Structure 1
Amino acid sequence: MSKLWQKSNTDTKTSAAKKAEAFTVGNDYLLDKELVPYDIQGSIAHAKALNKIGILSDDELGKLTNALHEILKEWKEDAFEIRIDDEDMHTAIELSLVEKLGDLGKKIHTARSRNDQVLTAVRLYEKEQLQEIKELIKTVAGAILEFAEKHQNVPMPGFTHTRKAMLSSVGLWGGAFAELLILQAESSQGIESLVDKSPLGSAAGFGTSFDIDREQEADDLGFSGPLICSTTAQLSRGWIELQFVQYLSGVTAVLNRFASDVIQFSSSAYPYFDLDAAVCTGSSIMPQKKNPDVAELLRGGYSELAGYAASLQMLTTNLGSGYHRDLQLSKEPVLKSVRKTKQLLEAAELLITNMKPIKENLAEACSSEIFAAEAAYDLVKEKGMTFREAYRHIGDHPEEVEDISAEEILKKYTHLGSPGNAGLEKLRKRLDLF
């Protein structure tokens, strides 16, 4: 079966050719299985553009569109195959069109290249996946916020340098992670604008002599508009993917720190949160063990995203303008990053909805040393000392720090974002906006 690039004098059956094929194709034909629907969307939009300039008649457009929908149906039924000798989904789809429609199927590639095809498919995929991930971020932020709201007046020690520092609260602790996720979702507008430009019609990066209506193609596909310069399309490949994966890496970085806290604060050394057995595993040798495996894998998952981002960064370093086969390798980090981010967000929701604070342990952990700053504040308010004088006095006389009820101290914190007023209602309003 011939390849899209094959000439009549090209022999692709030699041993060397087969080895080169295996190396150059790699697992790209397998990765493409996930992108077939997006490539079909692009092909339908392109067929409409060809019809508009008279390359396809109305009847031919109808037949091609119907055949493309048939291929999509086959894909949904897991009956559409992409073989290694196809190299990619583009070849497999075109060969299927030829099988169904004869020479008409060969017209679909007029005025386009596999370069703008794959770019279009990947950008459509990124647009769709970004919306799904934003919904998952909202779900997880909402679950953490609900946890914070339910337990907002439960005092807990705050830590710096892994040592007890000052009074905090479960509401403030949970609210902080919810707010980071809200900030991440709010910042998505930047990456959304990057992936919302259509590469279709840029062909191999230098346009074509066919008068393709690229703005109409972009509109048909739901993009805000086309990338203006055809050469921008090839320059953007890998560059936009890097920023897309870095965005996902930012999401999972929040989950990493959240998981680290859950692991610490559910340990025997810091028994502040109780994890349900559903999110823990046991040991094959130690009957007493209750291991926080969901949290540990959630923490570790971030390293995979950071690795994918690093891979893309190195891949695109020192590449000149135009297409380079290196860029084929930008696809896998994107697909894997999306899958991993979704898994980690789902695990984070599972974790937060299967844990609860151990109030008596948290109260006991709020020992007198965390009120040292409060004692210094009292000297400022009651004796007119400067804060620095009060600070030194308490530092020299730690015995003067009273062992006060954490619940009572919590009531003294009234400013926005403090342990007694975490501002959760404001976070709830922001969460509801997206």
Structure 2
Amino acid sequence: MSRVAVIGAGAAGLMAALELKAAGHEVIVLEARERVGGRIHTVHFSNGSWANAGAEWVNTTDVIVHELCERYGLDLTPRYGFESYAFDGRLEHRDEDFEQIGEEVEKLAASLSDRDEPWNDPVARSLDRSNVAEWLRGLEHIDPDVRRRYPVYIRGEYMVEPEELSLASLVLAHSGTAGDGYARFTAGTAALTAAMASDLGSARILLNTPVQAITTAASSVTVVTATDRYIVDAAVVAIPLPALQRIKTDPETDFPWLGQGRGGKLLVPYRDRLWESARPAADAAATRFEFIYDNASHQTNAAGVLAAYSMEILDEAEVLDSFATWFPGLPAPSESPIRAWWSTELESGTTYSAPRPGDLDALRRLREPFGRVRLAGEHTEIVFGYIESALASGRRVAQAIDQAAAEGASA
């Protein structure tokens, strides 16, 4: 049995801690926030509505998510309700327009020979030298208007500009997930991390405990907070890369960097869901955001929550003006909107990762050990950005630590 410190109580950190605990290791989780969950965060309004301020979507291919739902008795609700893109300031749901582009992505995905270690795949390496914008310009057989609109989808899905996103990342993400069957947690995504934390036990989780420094030696790791020092056999760092940059390391460690998404959500509560019965007006709104949807569509009360989802940090008045333009007669919000701009939070600094051209080698290195320290989080997975990605990383790292401990004990 070894002693392991897990830094971060998001989905990745909790998964790593649970797996290590189950394998018989002694675990302590250090979390900077006053809550567990990380970028999984369900917020509540006074009228009884709630909304997912962070991660929420679950795919049919998410094996670990479904495993945990069965373990903890959590329900999923199929995706439905109002949602729309904002093209040129007008609301349109045009996924069907992108089917041809999706077919082109599928062709590239079919040409991959090693999706588990794409840095060893010549095709993936070639794709990693290009960005999505360059590739899109070359699809001259596809309607120019569709190609002009597709960047709105990229911004809304990956929270970066198409020029910033590696073509390899787009193809790998597409090949690793099902394109249909999205659902969300019936009781909010935080029900998952709350159940995981309860299973782990509150005594093993220290909230409001940001880590200041990590010192590694040949046979131990020292994790330093403002009030304590934890000397352990291994450490799991399960926080986003921008937050990791804030921790001092000794010896100094130059952790690889991946492209990072930015922005987040503005969650606006209303007394009823007027948008379900009213057709959006044809007028164009002066807006900078990419996607709007009902974040509370599956809740039983009449109230609703419209989410403006954007890679830009939006002014509240701009969002409300856009909603009023699209839905004339929409009343004022029932209470103040909730801002969830993840890239501005010190504990995250990003929405989720969005690898740039040339980032394949950085991804490979992020998955390797740094002495007795290992990294977990969605940014360390081939298919990045999902709840499943974070959970898979936690399990993978826990298994590696358990194996290393077993080999050390038998040596």
State the TM-score, normalized to the length of structure 2. 0.22
The structure whose residues are more often helix, as a share, is: 1
The structure whose residues are more often strand, as a share, is: 2
* Larger RCO: 1 or 2 (CA < 8 Å, sep 6+): 2
